[in-house]
């Protein structure tokens, strides 16, 4: 069952969405792991993309291009100009709550954008003589599988798709397109479906960084519904390492589930953050931070539970997570405490302040 002998080589890697949370962590990871390759980062710098996430990454083998994955001409030009042999595709609209308020952007970027990348790669790589030496990796989510009830078995790679939010549906659709390019055209792909990430550079619209920030500032800690929804949490560097394993040695045409084997209800996660902050900030006027918890009306269509079986990637690619939630949360909280400038620069915009009003004040 082991496949770790494949070991693809790459020279010119296009990372899409490399100014976002996971993408920027991946650019940093790849830059360290493969200092001699060329990394081209294509990102539209939406509200979720920040060049500050890439500080310290430079040199003549790293290139940032500001642009849209839906811009077919631009995508083709990048593939040609940089002789791209490998694509690692992160770019997406990624926040479930935003997909409930404005699904259109999700259809455009996640579906049309993925199609635009696939089709241009197919054409350019064929013009260059075929797919040999080329690879397209699509980064996806466990949310495509829908929701588990309390006693259901974890998602495996063969669990039928049943997405519940417009975000999950758009990612499911993009997964299907990627898969179809393999089945129909023999186009060289892999797909990974990962659980909830957390760690440095995560935009504070998502649960963990939002709670850290609000707690530091003595603001309410909003818990949707009763807070008993369960997610599986993975430290972002572990996700980057898993993707690196898949692009090196994942079998072409296959899907790999990635997860942290750390499942907790949201309320418990929030309480853990509060407790770490009580110790890290002994002078804070907001101790115990737990008293800031507020239950707010639930997210429509809120999935109760995700749990992901990582047997395949563990067995075939010898990958497993290195950080458990206690280690990962400690590192994450320290990072946010030490990077207040980053926080100010990404949250100080009127767009973000408007988002907080739209999502929370009207709940």
Please identify which residue in 38, 195, 245, 332 interacts with ligand DAU, judged by CB under 6 A.
Answer: 195
| Binding partner selected for residue 85 from ligand DAU, ligand NAD, none, CB under the kind-specific 5 to 8 Å limit | none
Q: Residue 359 CA to chain centroid, in angstroms?
A: 21
Q: Which of 255, 237, 248, 16 is nearest to 118 (CA)?
A: 16
Q: Is residue 148 involved in binding ligand DAU (CB under 6 A)?
A: no
Residues touching ligand NAD: how many (CB under 6 A)?
30
Closer CB to ligand NAD, residue 96 or residue 223?
96
140: Cβ–Cβ under 8 A, 6 or more apart, which residues?
Answer: 171, 174, 175, 191, 192, 193, 194
Please identify which residue in 13, 40, 48, 216 interacts with ligand NAD, judged by CB under 6 A.
Answer: 48
Q: Is residue 45 involved in binding ligand NAD (CB under 6 A)?
A: yes
Q: Is residue 212 involved in binding ligand DAU (CB under 6 A)?
A: no
Q: Residue 311 CA to chain centroid, in angstroms?
A: 21
Q: Is residue 206 involved in binding ligand DAU (CB under 6 A)?
A: yes
Stretch that binds ligand DAU, among 57-65, 109-117, 140-148, 176-184 (CB under 6 A): 140-148
Contact 68, 45 (CB under 8 A): no
Stretch that binds ligand DAU, among 34-42, 61-69, 93-101, 309-317 (CB under 6 A): 93-101
**What is the smallest separation between the CB atom of 221 and ligand NAD, expressed in angstroms?**
19
Stretch that binds ligand DAU, among 107-115, 146-154, 206-214, 345-353 (CB under 6 A): 206-214
Contact 4, 72 (CB under 8 A): no
Residues 125-144, one symbol each (x = binds ligand NAD by CB under 6 A, - = not), give --------------x-x---
Please identify which residue in 141, 192, 245, 255 interacts with ligand DAU, judged by CB under 6 A.
Answer: 141
Give the C-alpha separation, 58 to 39, whole Å: 10
Q: Is residue 238 involved in binding ligand NAD (CB under 6 A)?
A: no
Element spanning 70, H or E: none
Q: Is residue 256 involved in binding ligand NAD (CB under 6 A)?
A: no
Q: Which residues are catalytic?
A: 142-143, 167
Give the C-alpha separation, 279 to 330, whole Å: 11
Please identify which residue in 26, 203, 306, 319 interacts with ligand DAU, judged by CB under 6 A.
Answer: 306
| Binding partner selected for residue 96 from ligand DAU, ligand NAD, none, CB under the kind-specific 5 to 8 Å limit | ligand DAU
Contact 12, 24 (CB under 8 A): no
List helix spans (H) across 35-165: 72-81, 96-101, 104-106, 114-127
Backbone angles phi, psi at 198, to 5 degrees: -150, 160
Strand residues in the chain grouped as ranges (E): 12-16, 38-43, 62-66, 86-89, 135-141, 189-194, 196-198, 221-224, 230-235, 255-258, 263-265, 293-296
**Rounded-to-10 torsion of CA 258, 261, 265, 270:** -90
Residues near ligand DAU (CB under 6 A) are: 94-96, 141-143, 195-196, 206-207, 210, 222-224, 229, 231, 266, 299, 306
């Amino acid at each position: 069952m082991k496949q770790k002998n494949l070991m693809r080589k790459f020279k010119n890697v296009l990372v899409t969405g490399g100014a976002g949370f996971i993408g920027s962590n991946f650019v940093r990871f790849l830059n360290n792991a493969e200092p001699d390759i060329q990394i081209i980062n294509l990102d539209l710098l939406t509200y979720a993309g920040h060049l500050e996430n890439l500080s310290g990454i430079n040199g003549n083998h790293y290139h940032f291009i500001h642009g849209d994955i839906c811009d077919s001409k631009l995508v083709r030009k990048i593939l040609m100009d940089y002789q791209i042999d490998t694509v690692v595709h992160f770019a997406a609209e990624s926040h479930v709550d935003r997909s409930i308020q404005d699904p259109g952007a999700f259809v455009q970027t996640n579906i049309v954008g993925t199609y635009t990348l696939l089709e241009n790669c197919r054409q350019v790589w064929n013009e260059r003589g075929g797919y040999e030496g080329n690879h397209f990796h699509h980064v996806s989510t466990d949310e495509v599988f829908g929701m588990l009830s309390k006693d259901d078995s974890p998602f495996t790679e063969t669990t039928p798709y049943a997405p519940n939010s417009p975000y999950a549906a758009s990612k499911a659709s993009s997964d299907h397109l990627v898969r179809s390019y393999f089945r129909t055209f023999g186009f060289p792909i892999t797909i990974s479906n990962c659980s909830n990430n957390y760690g440095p550079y995560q935009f504070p619209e998502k649960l963990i960084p939002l709670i850290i920030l609000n707690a530091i500032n003595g603001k309410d800690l909003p818990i949707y519904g009763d807070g008993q929804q369960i997610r599986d949490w993975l430290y972002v560097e572990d996700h980057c390492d898993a993707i690196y394993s898949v692009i090196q040695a994942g079998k072409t045409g296959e899907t790999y589930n990635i997860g942290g084997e750390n499942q907790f209800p949201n309320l418990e996660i929030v309480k853990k953050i509060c407790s770490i902050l009580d110790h890290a900030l002994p002078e804070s006027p907001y101790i115990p931070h737990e008293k800031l918890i507020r239950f707010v009306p639930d997210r429509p269509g809120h999935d109760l539970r995700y749990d992901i079986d990582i047997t395949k990637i563990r067995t075939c690619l010898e990958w497993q997570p290195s950080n458990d939630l206690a280690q990962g949360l400690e590192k994450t909280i320290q990072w946010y405490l030490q990077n207040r400038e980053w926080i100010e620069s990404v949250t100080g915009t009127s767009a973000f302040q408007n988002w907080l009003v739209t999502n929370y004040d009207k709940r």
